[in-house]
Amino acid sequence: MNALVVYESLYGNTKLIAETIAEGLAQEITTELMEVSAAPVDPSSADLLVVGGPTHQFGLSRKSSRQQGADDADGPVISLDMGIREWMGNLPRVSGTATATFDTSIRKPNLPGSAARGAAKRLKKIGYRILVPAEIFLVEGGKGPITDGEIDRARQWGQSLAEVFISTTEV
């Protein structure tokens, strides 16, 4: 059994969360981590697909929101030309492959929208089986840093995700 974690990140916060989730997964199953522009167009060799990105303007990023973020960046950005929205738009239909989604979002009570929930809806439409509810990891302000405790929570989420995946695939 193996997992593929695909992430989009501008400032590095979502990348760090994705790396930490991958560490948690890797405690139980073989795990590969890829930035979205390097991810395969057909990830069907993965038994578990984990997809994450930052929440932009209450949902999945767009080319325009990534450009806006890049314009505000203090340094180089990671995922500019392609985000998980565009990548998922090119995925082939599947039949029941397990998936889970996560995002990073600013720490603000009652803020609507979630890239993770949007990604889960899109993946479900093309045949992926949603393994667990979308998970949101908090950052302070638009550029971060990651809120205290979220790194540990991401590692634990990755490990528990692996455990859920294993328990639902055992014959």
State the pLDDT confidence band at 53, using cuts at 50, 70 and 90.
very high
Average pLDDT over residues 35-46: 94
Cα–Cα distance measured from residue 143 to residue 29, given in angstroms and rounded to the nearest whole number:
31
What is the mean pLDDT of the segment spanning 35-58? 93
Range of the domain at 153: 2-169
Residue in the structure block whose two tokens are 């501008």:
10
In contact, 19 and 150? CB cutoff 8 Å: no
Confidence of residue 143 (pLDDT cuts 50, 70, 90): confident
> Nearest 5°: CA angle at 151, between 148 and 156?
125
Locate 10 and state its tokens: 């501008």
pLDDT tens string 77-96: 788 888 999 999 999 999 99
Whole-number percent of the chain with pLDDT over 70 = 96
pLDDT of amino acid 109: 64
CATH number at residue 103: 3.40.50.360
Number of residues that make up the chain: 171
Q: What is the mean pLDDT of residues 112-123?
A: 93
| Confidence at 110, pLDDT banded by 50, 70, 90 | low
Determine the pLDDT at residue 36.
Answer: 97
- pLDDT score for 67: 81
Task: Give the distance, in angstroms, between the CA of residue 22 and the centroid of all CA atoms in the same chain.
Answer: 11
Using the predicted structure, report yes or no on whether residue 107 has a pLDDT greater than 80.
Answer: no
Task: Report the domain count for the chain.
Answer: 1
Average per-residue pLDDT in the chain?
A: 91
State the pLDDT at residue 74: 75
Q: According to the model, what pLDDT value does residue 127 have?
A: 97
- Tokens 């045949």 -> residue: 127
pTM > 0.85: yes or no: yes
pLDDT above 80 for 76: no
Kindly tell me the burial class for residue 97, based on how many C-beta atoms sit within 10 Å of its own C-beta (0-12, 13-18, 19 or more).
middle
| Among 8, 25, 18, residue whose Cα is nearest residue 150 | 18
